[in-house]
Structure 1
Amino acid sequence: MVERFDTIEPLRRLIGTHFRGRYEELHVLRKHLHREEGSKRVLKISGIGGSGKSALLGKLLLELEQSDERPSPWVYLDFDHPEVQPSNPARLIELIARRLGLLYVGHPSSRFFYEIESASAGDPMESFRLGLPRGAPPSELIQALDRVIRRLQMEPSLLIVFDTFEQAQMQGRAVTSQLTETIEQILSALPYAQIVLSGRAVIEAFPDSTRIELGDLDNESADSALEALGIKEQSFRARITRAIGTNPLSLTLAAAAIKSGQLTQDDVEVFIAGASGLEIQGRLYTRILGHISDGEVRRLAHPGLIVRRMTPGVIRNVLAKVCEINPDDAERLFERLPDHVALFEHDDAAPDEKGALRHRQDIREIMIQLMMRDPIWMDHLSEIHTKAIEHYQGRPYAITRAEELYHRLMRDDELEELDALWSQDLAASLGRSWLEPFPERARAWLALRLGRGDLRAPEELRHADWEFYALRETLSHLRAGETDRALSVLAQRSERVPGSPLVPLEVDVLRRLERPMEALAVCRAGLARAQSAEKLQSVLVLHLRAAEIGLDLMDNELLQHHAGQARRIANALQSPLDELRALQVLARGELMDPKLFGDSKQERLLDLERAFAQVQPEMLLQAPDIAERMVKSLRLFSKNVLMKIATTFGNHPDQTLIRADAFLLAELLTDVERKNGGVALLSNLAAAVGLSKTNPNSEEIASNTIRFSRLGDALTAVLDAYGDDDRILTNTANLFL
């Protein structure tokens, strides 16, 4: 029910008590909901930030929520939330089923929705109960959803709302195409389903659809909204709308400035005179900041909008001087920021950060554009971007690299500096800022990497940009199983920049085609370029590739030389993950042919296990391939290895290292129950997943453990208590892929 509250409450806050007008738009939405004559299957809502798109949707959905009768099935998914993954069809179906289960709590059908949720997440027990194969494709999961909806004892219907659609678009054409295909599957399998897509950008998919373009409110609705916001005098309301217009965000900001005493009847026209809509919103927001009683927060809020994220380190190292704040107070000041919900939202923290917040993106976009036009702020902008780059520079995490790259983009750094920082795992983070006013050159560079805009002919691209194009196209062909076509893309140009990611990729393609000698030649040429340019990380990667080729060719000298070089460089770079990779390739050789590759297998495996145990979990999370190889290729099923994987990955819903297999987990728990103290352990596991501690049932615990993503906790507890028992250890190992 907490999750249900978390879905509904933001909608309540959006519409507040002052939602007014939009009568025509609500009428179109209601017609769409009820599939009245002439309505299409898809309705698209677009409008600029602050025009009230989400509030309009919230008004409709709360009408459904507050219905006296059992509500018709509806689901709200916001792509601004990280759990809503547009590129993952099974995950979207899982979330749809979960939301419907919460909508019908207490109804017999809720259990079936939860079964579909678990089956979509990969639970084979729930798949079996639903008559689905393990790992059922999205089409079969949608058909199962159809069967449950038809059990609701009402005319079948389903409204699915996808909000903040631009966040999906910002992840590139491939992601948008995958999402479009998923929606088309839903529409095909569920003839009663209606879809709403809402976002700032034009949505090109589904041309045969109903469209709503949100603009400003009509004067009567704007007047009514201001009255609801606490502006009681009608003549004052009229002066406000004449001065600032009727944009919903402008009205809300104006009312807040007036109620806080920062804007009066006497100065409203003078204050607004000559300003554009964007400038009006910026001025109003600045007035609201003036009402913040905490002087340090007030000084931090406005120039602080130049940075996307707020952490104690950012306050201390980036903003303290320009905001006239004592750097020693950074920790205490950061602790006060979450209270200002109108300014900040929670954000993911990097492993070396104690916590993180982010500014509200709609406000940032307004203020950044205004600050970039203001000569007074130009020097401050450059200073803050430079200090932010220095703060994030050299830190290895995707979160911190994305921020360094963002500030370099805004500073319009040389493209070669941007090239050196880019990796594909930064795309989603940078995509969130696509609507910000990047310099023209930086925007063109970013557009190519986000898959936005029209791509010029590849032969006309700057070589570094061509390499990125080739990387994207090659990976796309490999995902489709088109290895020859992947190689043909790489063959378009022979030049490679030192440390180019195309070199190890070309090695991989040639190895797939069973052309190891050609792969070795490419690898050696790439090593020479990377070594001359002192690209040590690239040298390390290519030594590891060459060691793998040594395995392919059954060449012990080649394997030992390159694996040894990789270990040496990994130690120099203080990279325990890469040292593990080198140890792993050596161990695989000894397992393949002890006579050829050496017979120190037990010693090597013990070294490997010790090194694996010492890696920090946050680092291991970035390299699931290492953990997978420990159990899949090397068959290392010791108690310590399994506990390390369970504690690091087990509670992550999208992990693929441990089978989300309720049958196998139930068998393991049944074995545990027979052990001394086993019933007590099962009772604790039951309580942790919302079940009674009395008479714990292994199957129920297994099912809920997988449903609520507590697999890591359960396996860690079992291994900690009984990991020295051979049978328990073997049955636990069966869960690891």
Structure 2
Amino acid sequence: MAEKLSTREQATLLAQRMNLTIDERTSALIDALCATPSSLPLSISNTNRALPHTDSAIRVAIADTFVLDEIGAVPDEDLNAIVDHCDTVTIGGKRRLRLRKASRVQFLNEVSESSPYRRLLVEQVIADRIEFDTVGQDPIRCANAWLRCLLHGEYADLNRIPISELRAAVQALGQLDHVRLPHSIPDIEHARDLLELAELLEPLRTLIGAQGDWDGAQQSDRFVGRAKELRILRSHVDVLESQSFGESISRGFTKISRGATSLVSGRNPGVLMLKARGGMGKSSLLAKFILDHSRATDDHVPTIYLDFDRAALQPREPRNLFMEAIRQIRLQLPAIKGPLRALEQRIGDSLLTSASGSASPSATATVSVQDHGDWSQASVEFRHYLRSQIGHGGVILLVLDTMEVVQSIPDVLGKVVEFVNTLGTRGFPELRIVVAGRADVPELMVATEFRNHGEKFELEPLSIPDSTQMTLRLGHELVGDGWKRAWSNNIVGNSRSDPARREPLTLRLAVELIRSEPDDESRERRSLEISQQPVDASGTFVGALYRRRILAHVRDPEVRKLAWPGLVLRRITLPLAHEMLVTPCALDPQRLQETFDALAREVWIVAQEGEGPDRALRHLADLRSRTLPLMRSNDPALFGQINKAAIEYFGRHQASDVRARAEWVYHRLLAAESSLQVRKDWCEDMASLLSGAAEDFPAGSDAHNFLLARTARRRLPVPAILELRSDLALEHIARCWPDLGDMAEERLVPLLVSLSLGRYELDRIPPDMRNVLLALQVKSGHWPIDGTQLERTDTWHDAASEAYDYYTARALTPLFSPPPEVDNSYDLMHDARSRRRFARQLSNRLLQSIQVGSHSDYWHEQDLLLSKILPLLAQDREGQHYTASSFDTQLLRASASVGQDTLYPALRLVLMRDLSRPDRDRSYSLKEVRCLLQSENGSVLKRQLSNANRELFAQVETSDNNSTLRFSDRAWLLRIEDCLKELIMPSDTWNPSRRNILALRQYAAAKDGDWLIPIAYAAARATESRIPKTVVGLLRRQSPENSPRRWSSATKTGQSSPEDVLHALRSADEASNLVGVARLFADAAVNHEARDDLNYLLTCLTTRRIGVQAAILQTST
């Protein structure tokens, strides 16, 4: 029976289920409530005095909230009775009274037939109508008015009212449950759904300044331009009518092309990627696109909009994203609200179950598989319900916005990709996916089994006509009819002007700068100055506008001083300003609170964070990165004085406050202190606090690269990593590519091909990064490795340990002697992942042991332990908790060649994986076939192969011992695999004789697949990833003509050449010819250092082969 959860634990699980976040304050509140006995009234029994049937009490009952002044003169006794039935609430910072629901219901049911009630209700309804415009802008009066409208029975259609009224209506409906009315009122659940939908769309409406769309009013907005981009987005969905004949033709061709591609590939349309840097209007474009599709009456497109900048959205768990998707569709398609709500409940329950059960380590693997299965099956039901509503040819739109947030954490990005892939399977061609962010998302752009390769477009500055139109609309909105077109023309410039003038952020700032002038004459003068403004030191026009705005156009001198030089700091709090900025900024300490509040209103410069004493003003990142050079150049001495004061201030607090520590490091870098010195004071918790701060420094500078490597949570492009100092490159890889050290790889990683790891000087690498270097050097074939040792740090310890064992088992000069003791703790085997890691460790140690000598105690120990772990891996595989990679399989195969107790369980696992692969991806080499023919089952196999294909068998008999062939004839595959089953699978006829053991060991040693990864990387570096023609020719010759070659499971049908170096070498190993083909790469090398690495690897391999053959003969006798 599960242990009962505490109140706090239940609240936490409930928050996860509901896709909510619990901040520190809420967490503290939960703790306080848990410790406080409940005294909340369940009814009106806390008072014995009934509400008096007076006009004052009626006014209270027909208002959502009130203050005493609004109900007129009331005798003390009646007033006390009224107050006794009320609770105090705060709305918009104002304290008001609200009649308790139970009291309201009882009272209204008592007085609803009375004349005073009807008279007062009608009077108030008429007064509300007269002041309709004013009432609608006031949340307090609006809620009161809606309560009275519902009581009176005359109210607007909830589908056609603005969100402010909808909130008031929902609040009022919640007060009237169980009130006996002579007329019907809207269902509160329906009203809540409408409000949820409105709250989903309202931020998008705000972005484009949408107005109207209720009470029959035509919707309008201030969005202008981006016609090309909107056309691309519309074409991707292909539902709304084309806006021009050209668009219609273009979309027709696109539809035909997309249909043909999907017909041939069997895959759904790919992702459309919208890429834009900050300030380009990406969010506004998406808002316009989504709203256009959501408000279309005949062509309404159900849309799932996931903005990862929204704190409440938790992408670490795909089911959270799925629940949000269900919720949004439920709100848009009320006809299937019931089943979707049940589906949402089911996913929520599975979240609670897995969250409460995840405390058991032994259940981790099982839970993860079951969880995925649960929501994967639920997604099938979700698609079924959707199709029932959208019909044939319908479309569902999925928009993922602000992807840079999830890209900053690779594990989270993986969960988002899992969500998209599971939702958009082959059976869901109706899904259209749009992804938006500041960088490419290759994980979603790549073609998958179910989805074609994606397309991408990038936002550029607006055109001159669009820029002019935008500034005209914004100017009229901010200034009124007095805005002049000439001012817009001066802002936008002409075709010779810097395009940065026409970035949406720049245009907005320029309009605000002109608006800040007191009269038209000043505005005219300011617009002329803008037209003549050159691109300044920051490299962008917006930087110059910012400086002018700060230094000359913040009217209050005190605010101007706090903004400059105060905003040399990234973040200002009131206590910080008191302690640090008053003197250097010459601020009036008596007015500091007023000054601070005034700067907070300059919302285009700063953003507010927190409340109360924790309230802070944060310099907007996009502006700061563009304007910091201007602030420094404007007065270098003052800039340096403030920065020095910041270093001293934050230095005093850094030991106890990680935020202060982050700012201390930041300002030291701003003072040009070396990152080599600063890194000593770094801690991991600072990474999120300084995220994005690299952009405040010149690209390529020491500080820029340091912060980029230390704070970036997503992988930088390969050229950017190659530009980093060696220690910073390793730090970035360790942070953003935690699985790069894994030897299991199906495709070479371009970064590892390009990194010159052999040139990294060990004494320049911090100790905590040496494990990263060791793992990558071993994997990428930078052999031999001199002087490296395994560091006892947490950073990449598992990957480095595997690399350490791998290298020592194969290199001519091992990294240790004698071998260390193996950790044989069975605690390492509590889940599938740990068992796989342990099996790799033991496999490498078993191969190491032949250097000590077969039949040594060390050899026996590794052999016995590995034989015990392999059956568990087989169970994991059957339970789908473990998928053996090609590397793991080849490593086990190598172990089987030298093990005793390991031989049979290892080969059984190898055969399990081979049998799970499609026929086209399986093959056996000539050398393997000859080994099996030497077994006691060889005569039977010989007869079967000859009968199945005499021509192929003739090649087996006539080929010399140096021939390298591979066979993938299906009839031969079945015969060979039947022979293997008889030799290795326990049965009544199983015969583990000495002859069979020797044949199986030789069979296991026939290939060198465990060497593939380092040799492939060294070969790719040697030839700069080119495949020599000699290699292509040899690979073709090694496959008999009547056994068509398929290069790998990842290649396309009919492909006649290997896809990359790794595929070429894997093909060579399939013919037991890895060394021969690798030498052809060495012969064609253009990089001589890499050639030397490759030759050393091949020398190690051939030397290891000799040792393996000796061990085979010794262990088989």
TM over 0.5: yes
Corresponding residue SS for 1:108: helix
Q: Which amino acid aligns with 2:604?
A: A
- Report percent identity of matched pairs: 24
Q: Quick one: structure 1 residues 429 and 302, their matched pair in 2 at CA, closer, same or farther if it must change by over 3 Å? A: same
Structure 1 residue ranges without an equivalent (≥5):
517-737
Q: Quick one: structure 1 residues 269 and 157, their matched pair in 2 at CA, closer, same or farther if it must change by over 3 Å? A: same
- Map residues 68-217 of structure 1 onto 2, 5 A cutoff: 68=297, 71-104=300-333, 108-109=337-338, 111-112=341-342, 114-115=344-345, 118-119=348-349, 121-122=351-352, 139-152=376-389, 154=391, 156-171=394-409, 175-188=412-425, 190-205=428-443, 206=445, 208-217=453-462
- Map residues 215-230 of structure 1 onto 2, 5 A cutoff: 215-230=460-475
Counterpart CA distance in 2 for 1:239 and 1:494 is 65
Q: Which amino acid aligns with 2:284?
A: A
Deviation at 1:254, TM superposition (A): 1.7
Deviation at 1:20, TM superposition (A): 0.9
Corresponding residue SS for 2:400: strand
Tell me the TM-score normalised to structure 2 length: 0.39
Match of 1:248 in 2: 504
Q: Quick one: structure 1 residues 221 and 506, their matched pair in 2 at CA, closer, same or farther if it must change by over 3 Å? A: closer
Deviation at 1:320, TM superposition (A): 3.3
Q: Quick one: structure 1 residues 382 and 91, their matched pair in 2 at CA, closer, same or farther if it must change by over 3 Å? A: same
Residue-by-residue CA offset, 1:200-221 (whole Å, 9 max, x unaligned) = 3344441532322211222222
Contact 1:311 1:355 in 2 (8 A): yes
Counterpart CA distance in 2 for 1:458 and 1:211 is 26
Deviation at 1:280, TM superposition (A): 2.6
Deviation at 1:59, TM superposition (A): 0.8
Match of 2:687 in 1: 427
Q: Quick one: structure 1 residues 43 and 410, their matched pair in 2 at CA, closer, same or farther if it must change by over 3 Å? A: farther
Q: Quick one: structure 1 residues 158 and 426, their matched pair in 2 at CA, closer, same or farther if it must change by over 3 Å? A: farther
Match of 1:309 in 2: 571
Deviation at 1:366, TM superposition (A): 2.3
Q: Quick one: structure 1 residues 44 and 291, their matched pair in 2 at CA, closer, same or farther if it must change by over 3 Å? A: same
Corresponding residue SS for 1:62: helix
Deviation at 1:192, TM superposition (A): 1.9
Counterpart CA distance in 2 for 1:347 and 1:19 is 29
Contact 1:44 1:210 in 2 (8 A): yes
Contact 1:317 1:387 in 2 (8 A): no
Counterpart CA distance in 2 for 1:348 and 1:505 is 40
Deviation at 1:56, TM superposition (A): 0.7
Contact 1:120 1:141 in 2 (8 A): no
Residue-by-residue CA offset, 1:479-503 (whole Å, 9 max, x unaligned) = 99xxxx9998499944869xx6559
Instruction: Compare CA radii of gyration and give the structure with the larger one.
Output: 2
Match of 2:650 in 1: 389
Contact 1:365 1:436 in 2 (8 A): yes
Match of 1:354 in 2: 614
Match of 1:367 in 2: 627
Contact 1:78 1:164 in 2 (8 A): yes
Q: Quick one: structure 1 residues 328 and 204, their matched pair in 2 at CA, closer, same or farther if it must change by over 3 Å? A: farther
Counterpart CA distance in 1 for 2:731 and 2:569 is 30
Q: Quick one: structure 1 residues 305 and 9, their matched pair in 2 at CA, closer, same or farther if it must change by over 3 Å? A: farther
Counterpart CA distance in 1 for 2:535 and 2:822 is 62
Q: Which amino acid aligns with 1:230?
A: G
Match of 1:706 in 2: none
Residue-by-residue CA offset, 1:605-652 (whole Å, 9 max, x unaligned) = xxxxxxxxxxxxxxxxxxxxxxxxxxxxxxxxxxxxxxxxxxxxxxxx
> What is the aligned counterpart of 1:24 among 228, 239, 248?
228
Match of 2:484 in 1: 233
> What is the aligned counterpart of 2:208 among 15, 35, 38?
15
Counterpart CA distance in 1 for 2:724 and 2:564 is 44
Counterpart CA distance in 2 for 1:148 and 1:227 is 46
Counterpart CA distance in 2 for 1:267 and 1:209 is 46
Q: Quick one: structure 1 residues 136 and 434, their matched pair in 2 at CA, closer, same or farther if it must change by over 3 Å? A: farther
Corresponding residue SS for 1:45: strand
Q: Which amino acid aligns with 1:99?
A: Q
Residue-by-residue CA offset, 1:386-423 (whole Å, 9 max, x unaligned) = 256336511244x4444444434444434355434444
- Map residues 536-551 of structure 1 onto 2, 5 A cutoff: none
Counterpart CA distance in 1 for 2:602 and 2:346 is 39
In the alignment, is residue 452 of structure 1 matched against residue 716 of structure 2? yes
Residue-by-residue CA offset, 1:405-451 (whole Å, 9 max, x unaligned) = 44344444343554344444443343333433267223333343334
> Aligned residues, how many?
501
Contact 2:547 2:631 in 1 (8 A): no
Counterpart CA distance in 1 for 2:484 and 2:578 is 45
- Map residues 519-530 of structure 1 onto 2, 5 A cutoff: none
Match of 2:856 in 1: none
Corresponding residue SS for 1:229: helix
Contact 1:405 1:421 in 2 (8 A): yes
Counterpart CA distance in 2 for 1:353 and 1:487 is 46
RMSD of aligned Cα (Å): 4.6
Corresponding residue SS for 1:230: helix
Q: Quick one: structure 1 residues 447 and 192, their matched pair in 2 at CA, closer, same or farther if it must change by over 3 Å? A: same
> What is the aligned counterpart of 2:604 among 338, 342, 351?
342
Q: Quick one: structure 1 residues 153 and 11, their matched pair in 2 at CA, closer, same or farther if it must change by over 3 Å? A: closer
Q: Which amino acid aligns with 1:221?
A: D
Q: Which amino acid aligns with 1:246?
A: R
Residue-by-residue CA offset, 1:368-397 (whole Å, 9 max, x unaligned) = 243345454642563365256336511244
- Map residues 434-449 of structure 1 onto 2, 5 A cutoff: 434-437=694-697, 440-449=701-710
Deviation at 1:338, TM superposition (A): 4.9
Residue-by-residue CA offset, 1:275-306 (whole Å, 9 max, x unaligned) = 25954312333444555555443432344443
Residue-by-residue CA offset, 1:665-718 (whole Å, 9 max, x unaligned) = xxxxxxxxxxxxxxxxxxxxxxxxxxxxxxxxxxxxxxxxxxxxxxxxxxxxxx
Deviation at 1:133, TM superposition (A): 5.5
Corresponding residue SS for 1:216: coil
Structure 2 residue ranges without an equivalent (≥5):
1-191, 210-220, 240-250, 259-268, 358-368, 447-452, 477-482, 745-770, 779-786, 803-820, 828-1117
Counterpart CA distance in 2 for 1:501 and 1:91 is 31
Match of 2:523 in 1: 264
Match of 2:291 in 1: 62
Counterpart CA distance in 2 for 1:126 and 1:153 is 37
Contact 1:316 1:328 in 2 (8 A): no
Counterpart CA distance in 1 for 2:350 and 2:598 is 40
Q: Quick one: structure 1 residues 175 and 267, their matched pair in 2 at CA, closer, same or farther if it must change by over 3 Å? A: same
- Map residues 678-689 of structure 1 onto 2, 5 A cutoff: none
Contact 2:279 2:622 in 1 (8 A): yes
